Chains A and B, each alone.
Chain A
Amino acid sequence: MNTLGIYIHVPFCGKKCGYCDFYSVCYSKVQAELYVEAVSRNITHYSDNSRKVDTIYFGGGTPSLLRNDQLSFIIEAICNNFDLDPEAEITLEANPSTLTPEKLTDLRKAGINRLSIGVQSMCDAELKLLGRNHTSERASQAVYDAAKAGFTNISCDLMIGIPTQSSESLKESIKLLSELPIHHVSAYILNIEEGTPFDCKEIRTSLPDEDETAEQYLITVNELGRYGFAQYEVSNFARKGFESRHNSRYWMCDEYLGIGPAAHSCYKGKRFAVPRDIETFINSPVQPVTITDENPCGFEEYAMLRLRLSEGLSLSDVSEHRESIEKKLPPLIKAGYVKYDGEHVSLTPEGFLVSNSVIESLIF
């Protein structure tokens, strides 16, 4: 029996960031209580003691807004209903401003062993523009405190293409990040999502242009590499052995069960999603789901996901498509987008930058 990852979507934020289109609502104590109960109910619903759970991921939202006992309650529920691996990777996304030394100690106690901290930038002007409620100093402090509290697997989010961001300020952010006791960096290019407060002329016109953003991405890959964070996915970099095990499930077509409003699952041969509505989630005995894919992990999806990894796609795994893929490679290799060693097709950093087009041209 395959192992399973569990994703818990915690849809609460102290304050919504202008660029974010993940589902979240304003934190309320009462709603959080009801939410935790609903999560527990759902864990019981999906109960399967024969399944070994080896990753848990609290995403959001701002999961660090949950109290220690609430997190413990959820982890215990998982433990009671599944075969929780003692070595499981248990990640919590956290806003630096919520991470006090006491909170960090509590999180350790609750069983969290990996933190993903939303640092975004180490430049205060950029943080202000993003509407973040912390400074770079606060973020540094949070990381140090986390290390002190015993966290040995810390990831930080870094954002590329922030309005007004320059290559220099980006390099500086990376340098400062790399000096912290962290093991993993998720570096995302800011994408203006439709309908978010950032979806406006003022922001759009102050963004670095396509060429500048591309340059920044390549700088990121290069600089992080220099500091010992190897790229293993389009947006993810890690010191050796610290690749995110939970996120890797997404890219490997492994199973994961999502609980909470807006959570996605790939479970028992289907992909499904929970509606983006906290009330519905809280008030339903079992979370309602919409099937988004009856037949996931076919060739196209498998190849699409593998090609997002630095390791690339092994053509032996898709042997019936080998010929057609090989035929398309020469111009892509010539342009420096793709590498091919006769077995693995993988994208270069330049290729990752245009990965939609490269992947689309290879798999369709």
Chain B
Amino acid sequence: MANDKIRNFCIIAHIDHGKSTLADRILEKTETVAIRDMEDQLLDNMDIERERGITIKARAVRLKYTANDGEDYIFNLIDTPGHVDFNYEVSRSLAACEGAILVVDASQGIEAQTLANTYLAIEHDLEVVPVVNKIDLPSADPERVCNEVENVIGIPAMDAPKISAKMGINIEEVLERIVTDIPAPKGDTEKPLKALIFDSYYDSYKGVIIYVRIKEGRVKVGDNIRLMATGAVFTVVEAGFMDATSLVNNGSLEAGEVGYIAASIKSIGDTRVGDTVTNNDEPCDEPLPGYRKVNPMVFSGIYPADGAKYGDLREALEKLQLNDASLSFEPETSIALGFGFRCGFLGLLHMEIIQERLEREYNLDLITTAPSVIYKVTMTNGEIQYIDNPTNYPDPSLIQTAEEPMVKASILSPSDYVGSIMELCQDRRGIFKDMKYLDDTRVELHYELPLNEIVYDFFDVLKSRTKGYASFDYEMLGYKPSKLVKLDILLNGDIVDALSFIIHADSAYTRARKIAEKLKDNIPRQMFEVPIQAAIGGKIIARETVKAMRKDVLAKCYGGDITRKKKLLEKQKEGKKRMRQLGTVEVPQEAFMSVLKLDS
């Protein structure tokens, strides 16, 4: 197949704007999938993705399309993750394409993530093809949305296809635009192999499957390939492409093509997204630009609710890591929670997804600690420490300066909510940068915010304050000195390590009070009074008390039904097993979780 008959593209869309539905329609129209095999939203094949309407891992699929010019074209549709946590993965997916379809909801317009990803696509020199979707909705206003695209992004949009992916309206127009507007890939098949890894996953039979875009040269079964970042060398066992449901091994791939390589790779750690694949015997001079190792930004302790499940948890994390090299974990011990793992995530969504998958796919009952960012602490002796676990935060007297990571946040919202958004950002120590009107009713706000202020519940609160209309995106800005303190929570006078966290001194008092109240509500009355204290250093700044229970008695013993009485006691004892015994205090799992969700 000549290169000029290939189109490599992705779809950029905000959650719910119809990316997956459009992908399904394209698959249908190109008859890649027989209608009877269609399962709604075929590309997103993880349960969680389907439920949340988001794409977590990139996927790619090859489609055949006969255009109006009578020629057959090969489309490689590369599905991209839509969320900021996977920003780097998005950028690598984009780097594998020549064009992007920008799907915008005809009633809602552009959202923050769409904008961020579109800018990213433009940065990568992609041809952006705007498409206005959901024109069947009564509230659709395609003209306004086209204007918005032109004004905000600065690309012509007045003749953008106006479609309804759901109803199957104007899908052909999109397919034709892919042919006419998106450039064919370039690349010399005679040069040494140079291929970009944009995704990988672990297959228990074939080992790691890497998804690649061949930029130069060719690769075929039997070749020795080298992954340039890690230096690992493998022999190609399969090379081919993905149709909608399976891998098709056709023995080779060449410049311009998108496909997969299987080479009996044991560890996904060897196959880093963004790395370059070359031929070990005839290597290229230098790797493709843009590779970096992704580092976790958010950390949290994950513990099995039942200590006996520690081994199961480790196994589950290992399995998840097979497919997700960005997940990191190492054993950690907490006095309160026992044995568990300190896990690193790309961001909040990534963290939630991992936790949910552990619970759902591996049937684990978990206790997680408050998410923490990495603090940079310069000690009085000049030594620099990076702290991702509040428990390890040094004694304040040994700290010269403490710094926290900052992000540049961009929020898109109807202008009605500007006031409450500003209030929220100010509460979260945000520094206002600028605000611009996208049109009469929509604004884009920029704030500089500490990452630790958004790791808890920022997005949830933002959503609730804007009735779900605001969208939010952020990128890392680096470290900034900050007045940080470690807040400890004491139950019955003893520090509960799993509840400690690092916070800005100005927010400490409010947060301390909220946590103490939450704990009071979530720790049941027990035989003894339980004082709850929040302290900075040795100083108590908030206090609540769970009063001792007064009545817990089975008074009746009529008729000698002793068995029932004994069973009730045994049940009570079983119930307590699910609680964490901290000294004399029994703390239910919910209490640990409750402090993670402090409503503003």
Contact = CB atoms under 8 A, between A and B. Distances in A.
Contact of A7 (B528, B555, B559, B570): B559
Interface in A345-361: 352-361
Contacts of A265: 560
A360 B551 contact: no
Interface in B530-558: 548-558
A262 interface: yes
Contacts of B550: 210-211, 213-214, 353-354
Nearest to A236: B557
Contacts of A59: 558-559
Given A331-B584, A353-B552, A359 B569 contact: yes
Contacts of B566: 293, 300-301, 304
A354 B573 contact: no
Given A234-B555, A235-B557, A354 B562 contact: no
Contact of B527 (A234, A263, A304, A354): A354
Interface in A269-324: 271, 273, 292-293, 296, 300-301, 304-305, 308
B559 A357 contact: no
A264 B560 contact: yes
Given A304-B565, A360-B569, A210 B549 contact: yes
A198 to B, nearest CB: 14
B415 interface: no
A353 B551 contact: yes
Contacts of A73: none
Contact of A250 (B562, B572, B576, B584): B562
A189 interface: yes
Contacts of B563: 264, 271, 273, 292-293, 296
Contacts of B554: 191, 355-356
A353 B527 CA distance: 10
B551 A354 contact: yes
Contacts of B573: 360, 364
B560 A353 contact: no
A214 to B, nearest CB: 3
A191 B556 contact: yes
Interface in A325-364: 331-332, 335, 337, 352-361, 363-364
Nearest to A355: B553
Contacts of A9: 559
Interface in B571-600: 572-573, 576, 584
Contacts, number: 114
Nearest to B529: A335
B561 interface: yes
Contacts of A358: 527
Nearest to A216: B551
A190 B550 CA distance: 15
Contacts of A360: 569, 572-573, 576
Interface in B496-543: 525-528
A356 B560 CA distance: 17
Nearest to A189: B555
A266 interface: yes
A98 B141 CA distance: 82
B552 A355 contact: yes
A239 interface: no
Contacts of B570: 364
Nearest to B564: A292
B38 interface: no
**Most interface-central of B559, B561, B562, B570 (chain A CB within 10 A):** B559
Nearest to B566: A301
Taking residues whose C-beta sits less than 8 angstroms from the other chain, chain A's interface range is: 35 or more
A35 interface: no
B137 interface: no
B232 interface: no
A293 B568 CA distance: 14
Nearest to A213: B551
Contact of A262 (B525, B553, B559, B562): B559
Given A360-B569, A360-B573, A234 B562 contact: no
A66 to B, nearest CB: 17
A167 interface: no
A188 interface: yes
A256 interface: yes
B561 A264 contact: yes
Interface string A152-189: 00000000000000000000000000000000000011
Contacts of B556: 188, 191, 235
B66 to A, nearest CB: 68
A308 B556 CA distance: 11
Contacts of A235: 555-557
Nearest to B575: A360
B527 A250 contact: no
A22 interface: yes
B559 A264 contact: yes
B549 A354 contact: yes
A341 to B, nearest CB: 21
A251 B556 CA distance: 12
A266 B562 contact: yes
A359 to B, nearest CB: 7
A130 to B, nearest CB: 15
Given A189-B551, A355-B552, A335 B527 contact: yes
**Most interface-central of B525, B560, B572, B584 (chain A CB within 10 A):** B560
Nearest to A161: B551
A16 interface: no
A308 B559 contact: no
B566 to A, nearest CB: 6
B562 A356 contact: no
Contacts of A264: 559-563
**Most interface-central of A9, A265, A364 (chain B CB within 10 A):** A364
A296 B553 contact: no
A59 B560 CA distance: 11
A247 interface: yes
A96 interface: no
A157 B500 CA distance: 52
B587 to A, nearest CB: 15
Contacts of A189: 551, 553, 555
Contacts of B548: 335, 354
A67 interface: no
A265 B563 CA distance: 10
B526 A357 contact: yes
Contacts of A188: 555-556
A101 B558 CA distance: 27
Nearest to B527: A357
A174 B554 CA distance: 21
A214 B551 contact: yes
Given A235-B556, A356-B569, A358-B527, A217 B551 contact: yes
A7 B553 contact: no
Nearest to A364: B573
B91 to A, nearest CB: 57
A263 B563 CA distance: 12
A356 B552 contact: yes
A134 interface: no
Given A264-B562, A357-B527, A361-B527, A250 B551 contact: no
Interface of B: 525-528, 548-563, 565-566, 568-570, 572-573, 576, 584
Given A251-B557, A264-B562, A354-B550, 11 more contacts: A234-B553, A234-B555, A258-B559, A263-B559, A273-B561, A293-B566, A296-B563, A337-B527, A353-B552, A355-B554, A357-B552
8 contacts: A9-B559, A188-B555, A213-B551, A217-B551, A264-B561, A354-B548, A354-B549, A360-B572
- A-B pairs, 7 with minimum CB distance: A214-B550, A292-B563, A250-B560, A356-B552, A354-B552, A188-B555, A264-B560
Interface of A: 7, 9, 22, 59, 188-189, 191, 210-211, 213-214, 217, 233-235, 247, 249-251, 256, 258, 262-266, 271, 273, 292-293, 296, 300-301, 304-305, 308, 331-332, 335, 337, 352-361, 363-364
